[in-house]
Structure 1
Amino acid sequence: MDLVTTTPRTFHAVRGALIAGAIGIAIVSAAVVWAVLSMRGLEGTARTDGTVLFAGRGDGRVVEFVVDGKRYTTTTATESVLHTYSTGARVPVAYDPADPADAQVADLHSTYGGPLFAGGFGVLIIAAAVVGYVYGRRKMKLREWLDRQGREIWVPAEHTRVRVTHHDSDSNRPSVFVLQGCWVDPITRRTFTAESDMLREDPSELVSFRGRVRVLYDPADPTRNRIDFDQKPQVRQF
């Protein structure tokens, strides 16, 4: 029987970075819309100062304010690690002139804290996506260069090992693998290590079946290298 092994599926860094960037942009866009809606929600309101009555634990702090000699109360937004309300603190309050009971605390935290937090999270995702994209493009260019001008060397399976880089969040099973192979440069006699792209499957059986792996490297700088799985799978007769 003929057994043909297949190349492990890889993670595409550039594609993943583009997807992450799109998600980040969507989050930032939603945060901007949220901020605009929050700002419009204050249109037509009157302003006064209120006093935080107590600062016990809970989702909000009671704030008292006075309009035309009558006392009203509203609550602050949920507290965060970045902002707390202290008893007796003075905070701005926006209220409906026709119905002062319809009011809200109008400081920066209560009005724009949510949009700012969401927008900041989106910006972090975009920044990470940019870094991932740059890294992915460099890997692609190196790959293209090595495919054209790299020197080939075959590393025996016993000189390779599989490194697990990520585990599944639910089952804790290994989910991302990197194959490493060590070889001695015939010119400098120095030992170098090459790595594969991030793989979706454990390549151990494939490497054992083939008995060796192909490494492409830059003769002028052997640290510029990669393990190549793109050659046609070998066939073993049984």
Structure 2
Amino acid sequence: MKIIKYVFLIIGLIALGGALYLYQNKREFLDKAITVQGTVKELISSRSKNSTTYKPLVSFITKDGKQIEYTSSVSSNPPSYEVGEKVEIFYDPADPYDADINGFASLWLGPLVLGILGIIFFSIGFSIILFGRMKQKKIEDLKFNGKSISTKYDHVELNHSYQVNGRSPFLIYSQWLNPATNELHLFKSDDIWFDPTDFIKSEEIKVLIDPVNPKKYYMDISFLPKVNR
């Protein structure tokens, strides 16, 4: 996870940068483009393993009378256009083959898809980093202001709700009877990526709790060996 959070963050930033680049490129193209009317001459099929999509081949005449055929880079199923349909075309006067149909998908699908992917990847990476820092702050606050209690070791089990590369971490569970309220509190450790059972030599495990709210706690597992990676 230490690596994954930064990988997601970097992928997100690259995708967002790509989306911004495509958007600016398209804006520059539209600023200099000339608008003419074209006609869909053919629907070119593109077959993949599971489906067939269609992209339009459009014919149009430039302002200086040159006939151009342009094939859209965007394909869909069902087709977005029909043969014989009239469409508005943007083209670069310096390079008439650099053209686009005046439609949302043709103009903005690329930046939109990259932007959405960028936001998703960046949000995941940023959230993991933010969660880690908030968790570390909580631990530091408990170390400074919390109350240390001795809890009774209960058991070790796998955290099946979380997996990395097909592996689930272990959790240590302990319990403590609050003498002031006669309430039984259950505690669990952070994720541990090896079986800690053989390293638990004592029935007592130290836990730091918020004196006002024992549900805010941190189990001290510093007695476990460090993993040499």
TM-score if structure 1 supplies the norm length?
0.69
| Corresponding residue to 1:183 among 156, 166, 175 | 175
| Corresponding residue to 2:60 among 50, 61, 66 | 66
Contact 2:90 2:99 in 1 (8 A): yes
Q: 1:90 to 1:226 in 2, by over 3 A?
A: farther
User: Hey, what does 2:214 align to over in structure 1?
Assistant: 222
| Corresponding residue to 1:194 among 187, 191, 200 | 187
- Note the C-alpha offset of 1:39: 3.3
Deviation sequence 1:191-231 (CA, Å, 0-9, x none): 433333334x22x2x33222354332223322112222224
- Note the C-alpha offset of 1:181: 0.8
User: Hey, what does 1:166 align to over in structure 2?
Assistant: 163
**Matched residue pairs, number?**
211
2:38 aligned counterpart, secondary structure: strand
C-alpha distance in 2 between matches for 1:76 and 1:210: 65
- Note the C-alpha offset of 1:29: 1.6
Query: Is 1:94 matched up with 2:84?
Result: no
Query: Is 1:132 matched up with 2:125?
Result: no
Residues 47-86 of structure 1: pairs in structure 2 closer than 5 A: 47-53=35-41, 57-58=45-46, 60-67=54-61, 72-79=68-75, 85-86=80-81
- Identity within the alignment, %: 21
C-alpha distance in 2 between matches for 1:219 and 1:99: 73
* Paired letter, 2:220: D
- Note the C-alpha offset of 1:98: 6.5
Root-mean-square deviation over aligned CA pairs? 3.4
TM-score if structure 2 supplies the norm length?
0.71
Query: Is 1:155 matched up with 2:152?
Result: yes
User: 4+ runs of 1 displaced by more than 6 Å?
Assistant: none
C-alpha distance in 1 between matches for 2:61 and 2:224: 81
Q: 1:125 to 1:74 in 2, by over 3 A?
A: same
C-alpha distance in 1 between matches for 2:147 and 2:86: 69
C-alpha distance in 1 between matches for 2:35 and 2:94: 13
Contact 1:75 1:105 in 2 (8 A): no
Deviation sequence 1:47-93 (CA, Å, 0-9, x none): 22334445574255223333167754322223368x95131554332
Deviation sequence 1:94-138 (CA, Å, 0-9, x none): 234466455333433222211121112112233334433443232
C-alpha distance in 1 between matches for 2:95 and 2:133: 59
Contact 1:45 1:95 in 2 (8 A): yes
* Paired letter, 1:139: K
Q: 1:146 to 1:80 in 2, by over 3 A?
A: farther
User: Hey, what does 1:3 align to over in structure 2?
Assistant: none
Where relative contact order (Cα < 8 A, 6+ residues apart) is larger, the structure is 1
Q: 1:219 to 1:100 in 2, by over 3 A?
A: closer
Contact 1:28 1:123 in 2 (8 A): yes
2:187 aligned counterpart, secondary structure: strand
2:159 aligned counterpart, secondary structure: strand
Q: 1:153 to 1:109 in 2, by over 3 A?
A: same
Contact 1:60 1:77 in 2 (8 A): no
Q: 1:51 to 1:192 in 2, by over 3 A?
A: farther
